[in-house]
Amino acid sequence: MPGIKARVQMVRLVGQVGYHVTGEHLRRRPRTTLHDVPPSSDALTVEWLTLALCQGTPDAEVISFELGPRNDGTSARRTLRVTYNAAGRDAGLPEAVFTKSAPSFLNRMVAAGARLAQIEASFYRFVRPELEIEAPATLYSAFDPVSHRLMLITDDVTVTRGATFGTALDRRLSRAQAEQVVTTLAALHARYWNAPLQDMFGDWLRDTHQYMQMLDDALDASARILSGFERARAVIAPQVYARRQEMYPALLDSQRHNAFGGPTTYLHGDVHPGNWYVTRDGTLGLYDWQMCVIGGPARDLAYALTSHLTIEDRRAWEHDLLERYREELAARGVDSPPSTADLFLDYRRQVVYGMFAWLATIGRSPLQPKYQPDEISLANLERMTQACADLDTLDAIREIAG
């Protein structure tokens, strides 16, 4: 159960967030500087958007904009169509953009409990400009740590790149696309291989062990895991269901080892199929960067491959894909990539994190919002728990637990 300190912090957070959300509704006012983070896309004005989108373009102005439908989850997501004056149009300023904000008390509490808004805003502000991978381009990104307001504006990749999205239900990767997944992860990981990331970016970026402790306090992970096992029992590999009581301690041991047991890097942290898109030219891209952490690369690899690939394709391709990943690291300047044996062992151990993510999703408490449809959770868990069985994941973790 979450500790007393965590409960006290949560009570304080409820009061802090509630105070600011209430105040924003009672005292609506225009935002006049880029440091004054708008609470929602509804609060945007042509004046503020001119500041955010026309920087560095003399005489350019936003003259009108149109908001698309709102889609709420852990954040409120809306497209935005922007019209500029002649100077803005001549400069080719972005007309199709995408916004994320946290307007409601629930949005902010969900995001604040796991620092989702702060992590994603910081990624787009500090990290995204340094990366040469397919991902949305940063146009504006800010987070207010007092009110927990978020405003993120990127290009709308469905327009700018013809992107399409999918889930474990409707996307089956070809072998070439699976190779793109590991190549993209290698490009991200190689950029920050063994770098002092908290010194570079700040303590908003936590390691996988710290992040797991935070999630445990916020969610009561052991309860969510057992609830998830029961709700998803029909698709869970029987030999894994029989060892369900081992899952929680195995998860904690695996994340501790991931943080301290070898080379670390910048991880996306939530690389299931729903967080990738395919551009019009067939390139796979990553979005939803709100669960980034510092950790060993196998966590991203295990999560991506066991959720994306059918059971048959994973069994046939995983060794080759991991070897492709090692080659890509070396090609990007990593002097000593993990050995084939070490990477595969870590990959086996990290299957449990992806399992936890979806067990907790379907095993949510009545007080938690429904983040994903159950059928998506079930599709992911069927693949992941079979990987856990195939790879003897729990036994591999017991070796590091002593």
DSSP per-residue letters across 167-236: -TTT----HHHHHHHHHHHHHHHHHTTT--HHHHH-TTS-BHHHHHHHHHHHH-HHHHHHHHHHHTGGGS
> What is the residue extent of each domain of the chain?
4-159, 162-401
Compute the half-sphere exposure of residue 248: CA atoms within 13 Å on the CB side of its CA.
17
Residue type at position 268: H
Q: CA nearest 357: which of 346, 371, 368? A: 371
Cα–Cα distance between 86 and 91 in angstroms, integer? 8
In the numeric block, which tokens belong to residue 78? 């809306």
CA dist., res. 277 & res. 30, Å (int): 35
Q: Select the CATH number that applies to the domain covering 4-159 from these four: 1.20.1440, 3.30.200, 1.10.10, 2.60.120.
A: 3.30.200
Which residue, among 194, 219, 186, has the nearest Cα to 294 in the 3D structure?
194
- Sequence-separated (6 or more) residues with CB below 8 Å from residue 58: 87
Q: What is the DSSP letter of 242?
A: T
Residue-level pLDDT at 109: 78
Looking up tokens 């880029």, which residue turns up?
Answer: 34
| Residue 171, Ramachandran bin (φ over 0: left; ψ between -120 and 50: alpha; else beta) | beta
Spatial contact of 299 and 384, defined as CB atoms under 8 Å apart: no
Count the helices and strands in the chain (H runs, E runs): 17, 11
- Using CB atoms within 10 A of its CB, is residue 63 exposed (0-12), middle (13-18) or buried (19+)? middle
Which amino acid does the sequence have at 228?
G
Neighbours of 41 (CB within 10 A): 21
Q: Does domain 162-401 have CATH number 3.90.1200.10?
A: yes
- Specify the pLDDT at position 4: 60
Predicted local distance difference test score (pLDDT) of residue 337: 96
For 68-206, list the strands marked E by DSSP.
71-72, 76-84, 96-101, 138-144, 149-155, 164-165
Cα 219 from chain centroid (whole Å):
17
Residue 194's identity, in one-letter code, is N
* Alpha-carbon distances of 302 from 269, 345, 351, rounded to whole Å: 11, 11, 5
Q: What are the average pLDDT values for consecutive 10-residue runs of the chain, which has 402 residues?
A: 59 68 69 84 94 95 95 85 98 97 78 84 96 97 89 97 96 96 98 97 95 90 97 98 98 97 97 97 96 98 98 98 98 96 98 98 86 95 98 96 68
pTM equals 0.93
pLDDT for position 123:
97
Nearest Cα residue to 255 out of 289, 295, 220, 215:
295
Residue with the two structure tokens 């309860």: 223
Per-residue CA distances from 22 to 71, 77, 121, 186, 210 (Å): 22, 21, 23, 44, 32
